């Protein structure tokens, strides 16, 4: 708490009014969230954009474009601040003047990879934020990164898998989203690529493919028209 005070951060327990309602309704919400900057606006839907740390050029371009399009539509972009697709989505959102948020697999007192320190600072300065369920000072481990994926998906109405190989943390995020009845999409431009075995499998199982972020907006508008609360697609 002393570190958060010095850094201008904050913390929220499950019972605090500032704790995200959309995360509270998930099956396994974190008891605490430690935050630098802000959390996504509870009154507006957010989208998670996820994928491999080692994308192709096509995958990175798709992540940047989707981040820009989401931000231009006023939708917050959530990812994990990792290299590759995550960083591309964050940078795209910032380029369009939007807000973007990261969920870390370690304490918020440090950024990994270190090369993304400047990106993290820009995110916070632009009205976004960085969050973790782990207290400042907690180092990353093999299990903290998979665990953070449930929070990344849980904060969002929809999750977009841009480019993911057969074994990928992005697929863990997609699985958590599906368990919660949230939308899961796959970027059509990356299908059939060298690093897309996992995202191709999602599409084969029924995940919706999208050409641009406007496809998600159309789905959201259609869901409101059907029932007001929003029908959510799931992979069957």
How many Å separate Cα 49 from the centre of its chain?
5
pTM beyond 0.85: yes
Name the β-bridge partners of 78: 48, 101
Structure confidence at residue 230 (pLDDT) = 41
Tell me the C-alpha distance between 136 and 94, whole Å.
25
Give the sign of the dihedral formed by CA 101, CA 103, CA 107, CA 113: negative
Digit-coded pLDDT (tens) for 134-175? 999 999 998 999 999 999 999 999 999 999 998 888 999 999
H-type alpha helices, 73-116: 85-95
Averaged pLDDT for residues 69-87: 97
- Residue 149's H or E segment, with its range, is helix 144-154
Averaged pLDDT for residues 214-227: 80
Tell me the C-alpha distance between 162 and 50, whole Å.
6
pLDDT band at 236 (very low <50, low <70, confident <90, very high): very low
Tell me the C-alpha distance between 175 and 171, whole Å.
6
Selected residue with higher pLDDT from 236 and 117: 117
The burial class, CB within 10 Å (0-12 / 13-18 / 19+), for 217 is middle
Residues 131, 10: contact at Cβ < 8 Å? no
Structure confidence at residue 226 (pLDDT) = 52
């Amino acid at each position: 708490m002393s570190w958060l005070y010095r850094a201008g951060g904050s913390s929220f327990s499950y019972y605090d009014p500032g704790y995200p309602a959309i995360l509270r309704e998930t099956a396994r919400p974190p008891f605490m969230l430690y935050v630098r900057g802000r959390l996504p606006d509870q009154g507006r839907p957010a989208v998670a954009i996820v994928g491999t740390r080692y994308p192709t050029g096509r995958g990175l371009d798709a992540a940047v474009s989707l981040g820009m399009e989401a931000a231009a539509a006023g939708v917050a972009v959530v990812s994990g601040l990792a290299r590759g697709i995550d960083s591309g989505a964050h940078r795209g959102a910032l380029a369009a003047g939007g807000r973007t948020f990261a969920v870390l697999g370690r304490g918020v007192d440090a950024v990994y990879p270190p090369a993304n320190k400047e990106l993290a600072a820009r995110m916070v300065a632009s009205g976004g934020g960085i969050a973790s369920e782990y207290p400042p000072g907690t180092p990353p481990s093999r299990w903290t990164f998979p665990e953070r994926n449930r929070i990344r998906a849980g904060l969002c109405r929809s999750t977009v898998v841009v480019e993911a190989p057969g074994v990928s943390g992005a697929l863990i995020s997609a699985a958590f989203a599906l368990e919660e009845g949230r939308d899961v999409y796959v970027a059509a431009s990356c299908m059939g690529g060298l690093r897309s075995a996992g995202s191709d499998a999602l599409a084969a199982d029924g995940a919706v493919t999208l050409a641009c972020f406007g496809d998600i907006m159309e789905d959201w508008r259609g869901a409101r028209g059907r029932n007001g609360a929003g029908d959510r697609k799931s992979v069957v």
